[in-house]
Amino acid sequence: SEAAKKIPFILVVNLQVPAKPNYNLVMYYAAEKPVNKDSLLGRFIDGTDAFRDARFKLIPSIVEGYWMVKRAVGTRACLLGKAVTCNYLRQDNFLEIDVDIGSSSVARSIIGLVLGYVTSIVVDLAILVEAKEEKELPEYILGTVRLNRVNPEAAVPI
């Protein structure tokens, strides 16, 4: 949209959830100022897919829920590009990351368990770019989302 073109940078994260029917959880994060091209984020945005795969990290946390779900999901950071297939679309002032959760049998199993309890759990997700060198520290959280007792029946078909 014309309004989106006025935003210095937009990060779009599309979590493609395998289910019947399939779901997409799409998160939009907008920067208030231009991204420094020399920063870790700037290098991630304009980097190769291999660089992005080695750096794109998600940290999950089941805030409220059954212990079995908490144990399966855990709270350890996951390099998504190493665990599942990620596709990147870079244009103008945005980067879209499509995360195919169904591309990993382990991730598919975990998400299957979570979906069984999704209406009664609260999940926090944080996304960030992993620092690999001291000069890249500290790592900064790029965005977060809280999924509070999500009702898949309310999903809008597209």
Position 70 pLDDT exceeds 90: no
Tell me the per-residue pLDDT of 101-117, one tens digit each, with 9 for 90 and over.
999 999 999 988 888 88
Tell me the per-residue pLDDT of 50-62, one tens digit each, with 9 for 90 and over.
999 999 999 999 9
Give the three-class secondary structure for 49: helix
Amino acid 61: pLDDT = 93
Mean pLDDT of the chain: 92
Confidence (pTM): 0.91
Q: How confident is the model at residue 95 (pLDDT cuts 50, 70, 90)?
A: very high
Amino acid 117: pLDDT = 84
